[in-house]
Amino acid sequence: MAAVTEPVPQTPDQINDDILRVLEPPTPLYVLGVLFCATLVGVGLVAFLYQTYWGMGPTGLTHPVMWGVYITTFVFWVGIAHAGTLISAILFLFRAKWRNAVNRGAESMTVFAVLIAAMFPLIHIGRVYKFYFMVPYPNQRGLWPNFKSPLVWDLFAINTYMITSIMFFFVGLIPDLAAARDRVRDWRRHLYRVLALGWRGSSEQWRHWSRTVLHLSGLSTPLVLSVHSVVSWDFATSLVPGWHTTIFAPYFVAGAIFSGVAMVITVLVPVRKAFGLEAYLRKEHFDNMGKLILLTSSIVGYSYGMEYFMAWYSANPYEQMSFWFRGFGYHWTSTWIMISCNVLSPLPLWFKWCRTNIAWMWVTSIFINIGMWFERYVIIMTGLSHEYDPAAWGYYVPSVVELTILVASFALFLTMFLIFLRLAPVIALQEVKELWYADRSHAKGHH
């Protein structure tokens, strides 16, 4: 990079100091932030309990729109959860160097997002206290779940993904937890001592560790593609016009990566600012993530166009009516929010100036987050509103309870992320150091 004006770390110790600075005692602002988010989570919990007590009545769900904000938010968080694994696993296998600075943040996001996503099907179902009917557990009645149902596939896909990404995240953390154990002197030392699993940094440990990371990367890579494909099949295997289409799996996977990367930017920009990590989260990282956004935005934009094209080309009146309704019917605003945010707002990123302008990237990423939530909302709601039977057409308006729980899910994400920030290094220490050494030896070789 020619125009590097950003600070560059000078020694490994400085890297330690810079990155582990996050472990120092919190500021009042931070405490206030955590409390605020936690309060919102509490409000969401009350809303959920209220809904559990009364049934789905307090929601806006009705006939014929039986899925609404909850499933939208579920798909949204599953999508967010994709960036972490993509960056950690796939880019690791491709040896993309720029991933090292962002992968820890992305992985933590993955874990939190997938945890939140996994909650939403439970919030959504009518009898949450009977959720285990979906789980194949041996029982003397000989009752099993229906393995033909995409929702059961979903259960397995999400759980597999959750377990793998937690393992991946934790294994990656071990050396850094050891570094933190060696650094902090307060009560957290005991916590890190346990979590670091006796890490001493011996070469044998390093060897095992790097093999494990490699294998887990290999294991995670197909999951990136499979999880959201399976989620998309929740829709694609149905016969709802606007859902029943083969484009859904790649379309959803691209959308997931799109939103996931955007969320990484949304979260890391404030962190970079707050903890002065400009030397590590450098502009080249944002430049690269901007390119990823452009790629996935194009795929998503193509999918939007292709959906409309197929609706026209198939001469299927149900599809045609559904897509006309999507664009110009009762819920047209949602559709145009989706298109503006996801297709139009990333277009300036074709210019490098925009990709390396942190503020620009941050604003764009927020637009994309909004747009991707609306994408799922539009698909789910407009598809169901105007199905086959014109006499059963209807509308859906989300209720206060649903929106409260939606907001609470963001609050929960932030709460977990904020607490995580203070518990472990948000930038993968050992990987940055590794890069530093690599860079130095590389430079030496030339001089």
Cα separations in angstroms, 79 against 13, 74, 287: 37, 9, 21
Burial (CB < 10 A; 0-12, 13-18, 19+), residue 132, is exposed
Residue of 208, 207, 179, 206 lying closest to 192 (CA atoms): 179
Q: Shortest gap between Cβ of 406 and other proteins (angstroms)?
A: 18
When binding is defined by CB under 8 A, the residue of 31, 35, 151, 214 that contacts other proteins is 151
By CB under 8 A, is residue 384 in contact with other proteins? yes
Q: Shortest gap between Cβ of 111 and other proteins (angstroms)?
A: 25
Show the CA angle centred on residue 20, arms to residues 433 and 186, nearest 5°: 135
The window from 82-90, 109-117, 130-138, 420-428 that contacts other proteins (CB under 8 A) reads 130-138
Cα separations in angstroms, 275 against 17, 183, 262, 426: 11, 18, 20, 10
Residue of 47, 15, 80 lying closest to 417 (CA atoms): 80
When binding is defined by CB under 8 A, the residue of 144, 206, 309, 313 that contacts other proteins is 144
Residues for the chain: how many in total? Answer: 447
Q: Shortest gap between Cβ of 421 and other proteins (angstroms)?
A: 36
Q: Shortest gap between Cβ of 313 and other proteins (angstroms)?
A: 15
Count residues near other proteins (CB under 8 A): 50
Say if residues 301 and 343 touch (Cβ distance below 8 Å): yes
Q: What CA–CA distance (Å, rounded) separates 124 from 69?
A: 9
Which amino acid belongs to residue 265?
Answer: I
Which C-beta is closer to other proteins: that of 18 or that of 387?
Answer: 387
Q: 23 to 82, contacts with other proteins by CB under 8 A?
A: 54-57, 59-64, 66-67
By CB under 8 A, is residue 240 in contact with other proteins? yes
By CB under 8 A, is residue 443 in contact with other proteins? no
By CB under 8 A, is residue 145 in contact with other proteins? yes
By CB under 8 A, is residue 400 in contact with other proteins? no
Q: Shortest gap between Cβ of 143 and other proteins (angstroms)?
A: 7
By CB under 8 A, is residue 130 in contact with other proteins? yes
When binding is defined by CB under 8 A, the residue of 77, 393, 410, 413 that contacts other proteins is 393
When binding is defined by CB under 8 A, the residue of 3, 359, 391, 443 that contacts other proteins is 391
Residue of 335, 425, 317 lying closest to 380 (CA atoms): 335
DSSP letter string, 152-187: HHHHHHHHHHHHHHHHHHHHHHHHHHHHHHHH--ST
* Residue given tokens 């759980």 in the structure block: 159
When binding is defined by CB under 8 A, the residue of 94, 133, 309, 350 that contacts other proteins is 133
Residue of 321, 174, 145, 153 lying closest to 237 (CA atoms): 153
Which amino acid belongs to residue 152?
Answer: V
Say if residues 320 and 312 touch (Cβ distance below 8 Å): yes
By CB under 8 A, is residue 149 in contact with other proteins? yes
By CB under 8 A, is residue 388 in contact with other proteins? yes
Q: Shortest gap between Cβ of 61 and other proteins (angstroms)?
A: 7
When binding is defined by CB under 8 A, the residue of 238, 298, 334, 340 that contacts other proteins is 238
Q: What CA–CA distance (Å, rounded) separates 418 from 249?
A: 33
When binding is defined by CB under 8 A, the residue of 1, 10, 96, 126 that contacts other proteins is 126
Give Dmax (Cα) for the chain. Answer: 79
The window from 92-100, 137-145, 331-339, 359-367 that contacts other proteins (CB under 8 A) reads 137-145
Q: 308 to 337, contacts with other proteins by CB under 8 A?
A: 316-318, 321
Q: Which residues contact 33 (CB under 8 A, 6 or more apart)?
A: 414, 418
Q: Shortest gap between Cβ of 310 and other proteins (angstroms)?
A: 15
Q: Shortest gap between Cβ of 248 and other proteins (angstroms)?
A: 15
Which C-beta is closer to other proteins: that of 297 or that of 322?
Answer: 322
Say if residues 187 and 27 touch (Cβ distance below 8 Å): no
Which amino acid belongs to residue 331?
Answer: H
Residue of 27, 387, 77 lying closest to 238 (CA atoms): 387
The window from 79-87, 188-196, 232-240, 356-364 that contacts other proteins (CB under 8 A) reads 232-240
Residue 247 CB coordination number (10 Å): 14
Which C-beta is closer to other proteins: that of 325 or that of 417?
Answer: 325
Which C-beta is closer to other proteins: that of 67 or that of 377?
Answer: 67
Site string for other proteins, 168-207 (x = CB under 8 A): ----------------------------------------
Could you list the residues that contact other proteins (CB under 8 A)? 54-57, 59-64, 66-67, 121, 124-127, 130-131, 133-134, 143-146, 148-152, 155, 234, 237-240, 316-318, 321, 384, 387-394, 397
